[in-house]
Amino acid sequence: MTEPAKKLWRIEINEKLCKGCGICADFCPTNVLEMKGIIVGVVNLDKCTGCQLCDLRCPDFAIQVFPR
């Protein structure tokens, strides 16, 4: 019996809107995000569970998570 395929996610960051507050990176439950200079970057996309917490807590409308 094969395991069900892991659902994959795609994180879109709007670099024009991100102010680099770091809230998404600090509150990410699986540490997918990390600060890269003044804006946030994706480091471990495989670990993303699609919980949307980064999107919900982003004050700047800058990050969204879509099913891949």
Partner 1 sequence: MSTQAAPRTVPYKEKTPFDYSSYLRKGKLPHIWCPGCGHGIVLKSLLRAIDATGLNKDDIALVSGIGCSSRTPGYVDFNTLHTVHGRSLAYATGLKLAKPKLKVIVITGDGDALAIGGNHFIHACRRNMDMTIMVYNNYIYGMTSGQSSPTTPQGMISTTAKYGSIEPVFDTCDIAKAAGATLVGRGTAYHCQELEKTIYDAIMHKGTAVLDILDSCPTYYGRFNKVKGNSELMEIAEKDGTVSQAQAAKMTTEQLQGKLVRGILHRTERPEYCEEYEKLMAKAQGK
Task: Tell me which residues touch partner 1 (CB under 8 A).
Answer: 16-17, 19-23, 26-27, 50-52, 55-61, 64-67
Q: Where are the alpha helices (DSSP H) in 4-65?
A: 23-27, 53-57
Q: For residue 52, give Cα distances in angstroms to 4, 32, 55.
A: 21, 12, 5
Largest CA distance in the chain: 46
CB of 36 to partner 1, least distance (A): 15
CB of 3 to partner 1, least distance (A): 19
Closer residue to partner 1 in complex, CB, 1/37: 37
CB of 34 to partner 1, least distance (A): 13
